[in-house]
Chain A
Amino acid sequence: MKVVNNPISKVDGMGLVTGKPAYTDDLASSNSLIVKVLRSPHAFAKIISIDTSIAEKIPGIECILTYKDVLRKPFTRAGQCYPELSAYDKFLLDEYVRHVGDDVAIIAGTSEKIVDKAMKLIKVEYKKLDPVLDYLSAEDSETIVHPEDDIYTNIDVGFNKDKNIACEVNFSVGNLEETFKKCEKVITKTYKTQAQSQAMMETQRTYTYLDIQGRLVVVTSTQIPFHVRRILSHCLDIPRRKIRVIKPRIGGGFGSKQTAHSEFYPALVTLKTKKPAKIIYSRKDVFRGTTSRHSMKFDIKIGSDSNGLIKAIDMKGLSDTGAYGEHAQTTIGAAGKKVLTLYNKVDAVRFSGKAMYTNRVPGGALRGFGVTQGTYALEATINELAKELSIDPIKIREMNMIKKGETTPLYNMTTKDASDDPMYMDSCQLEYCVSRGKELIKWDEKYPKIKVSDKRVRGVGMAIAQQGSGLPNIDMASASLKLNDDGFFTLMTGATDLGTGSDTILAQIAAETLKIDVGSINVYASDTDITPYDSGAYASSTTYTSGNAVINAAENMKKLLIKYGAKYFNTKETNIDILDNYIINKDNNKRISLKEFSNKMIYDYPHMQLLTTGSYVPKKAAPPYMAGFAEVEVDLETGKVTVLDYVGIVDCGMVINPKLARIQIEGGIMQGIGYSLYEDVKYNEYGRLMNDTFMQYKIPSRKDAKNIRVEFAKGFDKTGPYGAKSIGEVVINTVAPAITDALYNACGVRIRALPITPEKVFLKLNNK
């Protein structure tokens, strides 16, 4: 292999770092109308009256839209394949506002100043309603977040709006009660997680205009261009062929842009005024008006024998989906499906999950997508079990975790349209990940703790995790390859590079298949008019799903090159080979460069454009695995926890680009450290956000990063492109449970709710 498994630099890297215009706002025409959204100050209210007449008179105001001016047609903003698992519970604008920051009116004018002025002059009279702010008691609340009758779900997901239930997910194997009875050790623990902000550096933003044919062009910072086209078509009631969605370079996503947000408003304005329009979300808009990670609570009961062999796990999860059910079912589902499958030696297992509507900012996708929450709770509980049985946490993993070649019926149960054939985890390298991590962190020297002084103590902790690689039998990707004259290819893909480097990785995969250099491939991506369909950049799907589609397109291209190569050399197809940008006739060792060949194809004989397409839908779960090890230092006087070292060993199959994959791991671990120690989207008693700026909401800074060390297991999954599995999400999952146990090992303090603030640690240290 030459091109794959090489640390190639990102094709767009130099342009990006030196500040070349490439992002949505850089591309918007300077005469775009400025669009802003008036947002609700109340957590739950009904609009009694809304008067825009004074605001509309301000010179430069082009249009102001309220719920009276837009179509009422329920939909979901969640970027999922149709039919979505998320309830159709959102309207373009509604007379009810269901969270602080919910949209009330759209204002468009010729400058930001004019729009700001107009916004202040819109008079809204609200009837305040009692909000549901606690998801733990939402089911029995007198308040119904969605009293309207015209919302629905496309698929039965246990939606019961009268009880504020957005969805339920239940599955089980074996006889739980009987198994628990036979267990020598049974523990029950409760863990809670908080809302986290995706905190990508570029906020949501969209620029819209009508093209020469009057079609709506939507340039937007999104992870899901094709879903955006479908969602807009549905809620604006215009045919999909009249919409073109283009994703330029985007400044990070982390799931924030897997839900459509900023697209609706300028689209409505452009359709109404026929003028170009743009909306740039402020950071406050992001906090109040988009999504954050679902808060979840888990009650976990684990039974084992006295040696630590786990026999039964019962996991009950509750999730706060906020005002809308976007990604509600899939996140709480993933918290069970992609977590419990780690422990395949059990006789019985059950998962029951529920997502509740509340009057908080909706839950949404965020790297890890429920698996992060579920892994935290289960891994932390297993660490507690190890402690109660006086077994080394590594030992209990070695006894119970899934290993290479093993399976569990849960994989079949939780994979859409799966057959009854067992899905063996042939590529699982968890054993290596655990043993290598143990070695690197010097577990045997450091476990459980090292006393530095009377005031400072260090502890180590660990956890394991998995994720998916795309969604089997749901998400589909496709790619096209075009041979241009002069011998270079255009790789057209619907895949959506968020900055992760997927354009580069997909080019590597195409080059590998075609046995050409990667520089001969130009990538054009994420334009619904031109590039073939791809469900989008989510569910850790791009390398695996889109990568396989690229291979298929490239294999098809190869067939054409062989066919026409054979014609050119006037020989049998089996005599033709392609290598190093040449077509070779093995029969006589004559060769023609792709450059010369393509020029002949186009300008001479047979006057033909070669263009191929490939599609791919995953058939089998191909989870990446990881073992994470934290070493923390605890200040016993202040309760402050510092992560001194984090070791992450990842099995993502074959590593297509070690350089870019490494940064995925390092970045994911740091995001996990933020989740574990600092980040918490907080609300006051009225449901108002208390930290809706980066001044108050603190993601980790550079000084919080001590040592992060990562390595790859040598892996290969035969279903993956050149053996690759995913990497984007699995990397965040081990951090919180590993830090939680490292803290306990250091000083005996067990915190069962994130984030682990110095205050929580201090209070426990002083009230032991």
Chain B
Amino acid sequence: MISIKEYVAPKTLDEALKVLESSKKATIIGGGAFLKLGSINISKAIDLSKLNLDFIKEYDNKIEIGAMATFGDIERSKVLKKYFNNALGLSVKDIVGVQLRNMVTVGATVYSRYGFSDILTCLLSLDTKVSLKKQGEISLEKFLIEGSNKKDILEKIIISKDGRKASFKSMRNSKGDYAILNLSVSKKDDTYLIAVGARPNRATLAYETIKYLKGKHIDETVIKKACEIIEDEITFGSNIRANKEYRKGLSKVLLKRALTEVVNYEN
């Protein structure tokens, strides 16, 4: 059960930040779709929907996605379809249903660092920065590890348009369920970025695997070795959807599939 005393929809980011800092129990409301799962008392709910943060903008060297852009916006975005082999669009498309995707926002997902998230894993395999009102730009990698230092508002995320090829893979049992595991691979020049999420903990980069693959020509032997590395380096856990042994095994399958796909995109 949640209870909210007061609800404000500020017209500017500064105003929003002011409200946020005014009370300990002031909270930003993103899409609001997962609000009901918690049991919290909110003194002031801050609605960012009046701040025009629902954009997806393309620049010469980057793409900016506003905090209030929904998964539906991402799935339908013509801009995002052009880049990273549409990995971002594909990473959100299996999430429950179209109505929920029309509500769930990128900002809330990133800021909350949900473990079950699919898009976070995909974003982590790209060169993504998080832009916070107070703390400025932080790499998503760092933000996922450390979170926000202080009460802050996530304004947008910024993705480098660096010509990466990317492939996102997830494994779910029922098609309407959360992922048991997800994994995303991107490649730029001779460097791979590999992120694993829904472990069930939040997404992380597979540093050792990335190191191993750098500059390698991908063949069966290399994939086999990479799979051995990834299952060793990533910490997997158990939850209602699966045990860690299965996730471990899955990580190899998804890595193989994503790597193969990225290589195919290159050719």
Q: Known contacts being A758-B180, A762-B249, is A704 close to B242, with CB within 8 Å?
A: no
Q: Contact check: which of A690, A693, A703, A763 meets B175 at CB < 8 Å?
A: A703
Task: Say yes or no: B171 contacts A763, CB within 8 Å.
Answer: no
Task: Say yes or no: B174 contacts A637, CB within 8 Å.
Answer: no
- What A residues does B126 contact at CB under 8 A? none
Task: Say yes or no: B177 contacts A678, CB within 8 Å.
Answer: yes
Which residues between 231 and 267 of chain B lie within 8 Å of chain A, taking CB atoms? 240, 242-243, 245-246, 249-250, 253, 256
Which residues between 59 and 107 of chain B lie within 8 Å of chain A, taking CB atoms? 97
Contact with B along A697-716 (1 / 0, CB 8 A): 01111111000000000000
Task: Say yes or no: A678 contacts B174, CB within 8 Å.
Answer: yes
- What A residues does B177 contact at CB under 8 A? 678, 698
* Least distance between A767 CB and chain B CB atoms (Å): 10
Q: Cα distance A696–B241 when bound, in Å?
A: 9
- What B residues does A766 contact at CB under 8 A? 249
- What A residues does B3 contact at CB under 8 A? 116
Task: Say yes or no: B174 contacts A704, CB within 8 Å.
Answer: yes
Task: Say yes or no: A758 contacts B174, CB within 8 Å.
Answer: no
Number of A residues with CB within 8 Å of any CB on chain B = 27
Q: Known contacts being A116-B1, A758-B180, is A701 close to B250, with CB within 8 Å?
A: no
Determine whether B176 belongs to the interface, using a CB cutoff of 8 Å to chain A.
yes
Determine whether A390 belongs to the interface, using a CB cutoff of 8 Å to chain B.
no
* Least distance between B46 CB and chain A CB atoms (Å): 21
CB closest residue in chain A, given B256: A637
Q: Known contacts being A696-B240, A759-B242, A759-B243, is A640 close to B173, with CB within 8 Å?
A: yes
CB closest residue in chain B, given A116: B1
Number of B residues with CB within 8 Å of any CB on chain A = 20
Q: Cα distance A403–B243 when bound, in Å?
A: 46
Q: Cα distance A113–B175 when bound, in Å?
A: 35
Determine whether A695 belongs to the interface, using a CB cutoff of 8 Å to chain B.
yes
Determine whether A473 belongs to the interface, using a CB cutoff of 8 Å to chain B.
no
CB closest residue in chain B, given A695: B37
Determine whether A682 belongs to the interface, using a CB cutoff of 8 Å to chain B.
yes
Determine whether A352 belongs to the interface, using a CB cutoff of 8 Å to chain B.
no
Q: Cα distance A640–B240 when bound, in Å?
A: 17
Task: Say yes or no: A638 contacts B176, CB within 8 Å.
Answer: no
- What A residues does B256 contact at CB under 8 A? 637
CB closest residue in chain A, given B240: A690
Q: Cα distance A640–B3 when bound, in Å?
A: 41
- What B residues does A704 contact at CB under 8 A? 174-176
Q: Contact check: which of A695, A698, A759, A762 meets B174 at CB < 8 Å?
A: A698
Task: Say yes or no: A701 contacts B174, CB within 8 Å.
Answer: yes
Contact with A along B41-64 (1 / 0, CB 8 A): 000000000000000000000000
Q: Cα distance A702–B250 when bound, in Å?
A: 25
Which one of A702, A757, A758 has the greatest number of beta carbons of chain B within 10 Å?
A758
CB closest residue in chain B, given A756: B173
CB closest residue in chain A, given B34: A695
* Least distance between A111 CB and chain B CB atoms (Å): 13
Q: Known contacts being A637-B253, A691-B240, A695-B37, is A762 close to B246, with CB within 8 Å?
A: yes
Q: Cα distance A45–B180 when bound, in Å?
A: 35
Q: Cα distance A696–B177 when bound, in Å?
A: 8
Give the secondary structure class of A's interface.
loop
Q: Contact check: which of A638, A674, A698, A699 meets B253 at CB < 8 Å?
A: A638
Q: Cα distance A758–B177 when bound, in Å?
A: 13
Q: Cα distance A691–B37 when bound, in Å?
A: 12
- What B residues does A698 contact at CB under 8 A? 173-174, 176-177
- What B residues does A763 contact at CB under 8 A? 245-246
- What A residues does B1 contact at CB under 8 A? 116
Contact with B along A662-689 (1 / 0, CB 8 A): 0000000000001001100010000000
Q: Cα distance A640–B1 when bound, in Å?
A: 36
Task: Say yes or no: B249 contacts A758, CB within 8 Å.
Answer: no
Which one of B3, B174, B245, B256 has the greatest number of beta carbons of chain A within 10 Å?
B174
CB closest residue in chain A, given B100: A695
Q: Cα distance A703–B96 when bound, in Å?
A: 10
- What A residues does B246 contact at CB under 8 A? 639, 758-759, 762-763
* Least distance between A683 CB and chain B CB atoms (Å): 11
- What B residues does A695 contact at CB under 8 A? 37
Q: Cα distance A637–B253 when bound, in Å?
A: 6
Which one of A690, A704, A759 has the greatest number of beta carbons of chain B within 10 Å?
A759
CB closest residue in chain A, given B243: A759
Q: Cα distance A698–B175 when bound, in Å?
A: 9
Q: Cα distance A701–B177 when bound, in Å?
A: 9
Contact with A along B163-207 (1 / 0, CB 8 A): 000000001011111001000000000000000000000000000
Task: Say yes or no: B253 contacts A703, CB within 8 Å.
Answer: no
Task: Say yes or no: A677 contacts B174, CB within 8 Å.
Answer: yes
Q: Cα distance A693–B178 when bound, in Å?
A: 13
Q: Cα distance A701–B174 when bound, in Å?
A: 7
Which one of B3, B173, B176, B245 has the greatest number of beta carbons of chain A within 10 Å?
B173
CB closest residue in chain B, given A761: B246
- What A residues does B175 contact at CB under 8 A? 701-704
Q: Cα distance A591–B263 when bound, in Å?
A: 84
Task: Say yes or no: A678 contacts B173, CB within 8 Å.
Answer: yes
Q: Known contacts being A638-B250, A638-B253, is A757 close to B176, with CB within 8 Å?
A: no
* Least distance between B152 CB and chain A CB atoms (Å): 28
Task: Say yes or no: B173 contacts A700, CB within 8 Å.
Answer: no
* Least distance between A263 CB and chain B CB atoms (Å): 24
Q: Known contacts being A638-B250, A682-B240, is A757 close to B245, with CB within 8 Å?
A: no
Q: Contact check: which of A116, A640, A678, A696 meets B171 at CB < 8 Å?
A: A640
CB closest residue in chain A, given B249: A762
Contact with A along B1-40 (1 / 0, CB 8 A): 1010000000000000000000000000000000001000
CB closest residue in chain A, given B171: A638
Q: Contact check: which of B37, B97, B173, B245 meets A758 at CB < 8 Å?
A: B173
* Least distance between B260 CB and chain A CB atoms (Å): 12
* Least distance between A751 CB and chain B CB atoms (Å): 14
Q: Cα distance A417–B256 when bound, in Å?
A: 64
Which residues between 710 and 768 of chain A lie within 8 Å of chain B, taking CB atoms? 757-759, 762-763, 766
- What A residues does B180 contact at CB under 8 A? 758-759
6 A-B residue contacts at CB 8 Å? A116-B3, A638-B250, A639-B246, A677-B173, A758-B173, A758-B246
Residues of chain A at the chain B interface (Cβ within 8 Å): 116, 637-640, 674, 677-678, 682, 690-691, 693, 695-696, 698-704, 757-759, 762-763, 766
Given contacts A682-B240, A701-B174, A759-B242, 6 further A-B contacts (CB under 8 A): A678-B177, A703-B176, A704-B176, A758-B173, A759-B180, A759-B246
Closest 4 CB pairs of A and B: A701-B176, A703-B175, A759-B246, A698-B174
